[in-house]
């Protein structure tokens, strides 16, 4: 166990193939989902091989081969079935295609065909083909906008003339519509040719197939589409990769033993003076949150860095398109803090503490706070034993934190709980100071404002070469 009385961490000698998990970590917890959204299978394989875990690497490669073969066969069958409808003409194809034609051509939906989870070799191989698709997309988009403008103008004119002239006007527009339909069909054909080109690339298929579902029709009565979509949730590769990443993370997670006391049925953990804590915050925020008496902090950089990434609501508030360029511009910061005094924090990993707090809130009729508590720290049975399972929901967490502050508590600690990384919520009046000098930790040095000396925008995968070449519209799932 590490000494918790010291403000210095021992610098870890971390190999470069592990360091990527510190640099690129966007995960919000050990139990979180979406590891493949960040790293991809090539990163997991590289780590296993570099760590000489050859059997695990072989198992993962075998699973990738098997799963990609399933995806390949299904996608090939989908493309073949769609081709049969394609050859029957535009009007028939719009109704019977397996692709979402209205989304692709009429709504100008952009397609994520080249996610940043693929390896750099795959990216560089696919990129020229993707660029051609972008040109075709721009071509049909321009034609569509021209026709929309033309129709609006014609509608204004025809409203003042007879039906004869109105019908005559529609005849004049027909050639332009035919040109547009041809443009749409050419674009769809190019997408399918692109997919055919990379059907043999396992890395591309395994890291991309869930995005392909975005431009297939949501027609689950179609057996091929239904089976293809099911693979998004059923493949085992994400779990295998998650184990690789979690095993590495555990090697560099400092574990502490805190002094504990119990008072009036409530258990507390004592955080000593001069202890180091970390907090991520958005680009439009500050090291200490505005207009709040509490703040949430973690015990390591790797636990909190994910919260510096911009959320969907940030783009909506700023009226920005959710593109890779804007994403990288909106990345936030990580700050390091030192406790200025000893803190007595409620131990939310204690079943008895949670039960006692429930009784207090029921007695005081604090229904909203009680709801946040029982939903955020749910008592469950595991291996015939009661444990606390953490589920973080902003509104409930906020109400509970406000009540703690108003009731005079220093805050709470969640340490080694399933469901979320280690965390503290601190009623921060005179409790923390922001550290301006660099602090050693996790094998790297992190200054107060990382964007000045160690920009997150240059270390997350989406904001690195070669992925900065591409400025596609990202999915908001």
What is the domain partition of the chain in residue ranges?
55-239, 259-463
pTM of the model: 0.66
Q: What is the pLDDT of residues 371-419, one digit of tens each?
A: 999 999 999 999 899 999 999 898 999 999 999 999 999 999 999 888 8
CA-to-CA distance for 318 and 92, rounded, in angstroms? Answer: 41
Q: Residue 30: pLDDT above 60?
A: no
Who wins on pLDDT, 395 or 10?
A: 395
Percent of the residues in the chain that have a pLDDT greater than 90, as a whole number? 32
Q: Does the N-terminal peptide bond of residue 466 adopt cis geometry, omega within 30 degrees of 0?
A: yes
What is the pLDDT at residue 318? 78
CA angle 109/111/112 to nearest 5° reads 145
CA dihedral (379, 380, 383, 384) in degrees, to 10, reads: 80
- The C-alpha atoms of residue 187 and residue 183 are separated, in whole angstroms, by 6
- pLDDT > 70: what percent of the chain? 71
Provide the pLDDT for residue 253.
Answer: 67
Q: Mean pLDDT over residues 48-69, rounded?
A: 93
Long-range CB contact pairs, 67-73, < 8 A, 24+: 67/206, 67/231, 67/235, 67/236, 67/237, 68/202, 68/205, 68/206, 70/231, 71/205, 71/206, 71/209, 71/228, 71/231, 72/199, 72/200, 72/205
- Asked if residues 278 and 44 have their Cβ atoms less than 8 Å apart, the reply is no
Q: How far is the C-alpha of 48 from the C-alpha of 15, rounded, in Å? A: 13
Mean pLDDT of the chain: 77
pLDDT in tens, 248-259: 777 766 778 899
**How much is the average pLDDT of 141-160?**
50
What is the rounded average pLDDT of the residues 45-57? 92
Give the residue with greater pLDDT, 151 vs 357: 357
385 Rama class: left (phi>0) / alpha (psi -120 to 50) / beta: beta
Which of the two residues, 441 and 362, has the higher pLDDT score?
362
Taking alpha carbons only, the member of 473, 426, 59 closest to residue 236 is 59
Whether 23 contacts 38, CB under 8 Å: no
| pLDDT mean over 45-54 | 92
């Amino acid at each position: 166990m590490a000494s918790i009385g010291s403000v210095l961490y021992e610098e870890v000698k971390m190999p470069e193939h592990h360091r990527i998990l510190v640099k690129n970590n966007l995960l919000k917890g050990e139990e979180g989902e979406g590891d493949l959204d960040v790293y991809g299978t090539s990163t997991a394989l590289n780590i296993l091989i570099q760590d000489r875990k050859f059997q695990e690497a072989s198992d993962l490669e075998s699973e990738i081969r098997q799963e990609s073969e399933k995806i390949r066969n299904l996608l090939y069958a989908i493309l073949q079935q769609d081709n049969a409808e394609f050859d029957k003409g535009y009007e028939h194809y719009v109704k019977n295609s397996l692709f979402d034609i209205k989304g692709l051509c009429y709504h100008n939906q952009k397609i994520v065909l080249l996610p940043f989870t693929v390896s750099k070799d795959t990216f560089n191989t696919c990129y020229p083909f993707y660029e051609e698709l972008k040109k075709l997309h721009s071509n049909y988009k321009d034609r569509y906008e021209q026709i929309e403008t033309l129709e609006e103008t014609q509608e204004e004119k025809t409203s003042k003339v007879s039906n004869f002239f109105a019908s005559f006007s529609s005849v004049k527009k027909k050639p332009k519509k035919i040109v547009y339909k041809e443009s749409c069909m050419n674009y769809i054909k190019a997408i399918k040719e692109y997919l055919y080109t990379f059907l043999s690339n396992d890395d591309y298929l395994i890291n991309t197939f869930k995005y392909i579902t975005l431009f297939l029709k949501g027609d689950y009565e179609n057996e091929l589409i239904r089976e293809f979509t099911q693979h998004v949730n059923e493949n085992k590769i994400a779990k295998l990769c998650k184990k690789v990443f979690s095993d590495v993370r555990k090697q560099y997670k400092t574990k502490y033993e805190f002094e504990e006391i119990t008072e009036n049925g409530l258990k507390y953990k004592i955080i000593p003076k001069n202890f180091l804590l970390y907090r991520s915050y958005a680009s439009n925020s500050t090291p200490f949150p505005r207009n709040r008496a509490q703040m949430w902090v973690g015990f390591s950089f790797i636990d909190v860095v994910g919260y510096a990434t911009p959320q969907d609501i940030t783009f909506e508030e700023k009226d920005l398109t959710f593109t890779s360029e804007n994403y990288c511009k909106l990345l936030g910061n990580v700050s390091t803090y030192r406790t200025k005094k000893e803190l007595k924090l409620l131990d939310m990993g204690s079943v008895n503490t949670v039960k006692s707090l429930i009784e207090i809130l029921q007695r005081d009729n604090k229904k909203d706070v009680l709801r946040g508590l029982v939903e955020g720290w749910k008592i469950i049975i595991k291996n015939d034993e009661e444990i606390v399972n953490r589920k973080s929901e902003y509104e409930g967490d906020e109400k509970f934190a406000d009540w703690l502050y108003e009731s005079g508590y220093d805050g709470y600690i969640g340490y080694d709980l399933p469901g979320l990384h280690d965390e503290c919520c601190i009623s921060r009046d005179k409790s923390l100071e922001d550290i301006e000098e660099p602090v050693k930790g996790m094998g790297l040095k992190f200054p107060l404002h990382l964007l000045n000396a160690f920009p997150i925008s240059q270390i997350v995968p989406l904001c690195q070469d070669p992925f900065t070449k591409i400025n596609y519209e990202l999915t908001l799932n």
